[in-house]
Amino acid sequence: MRVILFDLDGTLIDSTEAILYGFRKTFEKFGKKPPKDEDVKKLIGLPLDIMFSNLGIEKKVEEFVQTYKSIYKVISKDMTVLLPNAKEAILLAKSFARLGIVTTKTGIYSKELLAYFGIMKYFDVLIGREDVTNPKPHPEPILKAIYRLKANKESTFMIGDTCLDMISAKEAGVIGIGVEFEYDKKLHECAKIVKKDVLEAVKFINAFSNSK
CA end-to-end span of the chain = 12
Q: Which residues are catalytic?
A: 7
Query: Is 13 in contact with 81 (CB distance < 8 Å)?
Result: yes
- The set of residues, in sequence order, having a beta carbon less than 8 Å from that of 135 and lying 6+ positions away, is 46, 47, 104, 129, 141
Parallel/antiparallel/unpaired status of strands 81-82 and 13-14: antiparallel
Is the peptide bond prior to 137 cis by the omega test (within 30 degrees of 0)? yes
Apex 42 CA angle, 37 and 48, nearest 5: 90
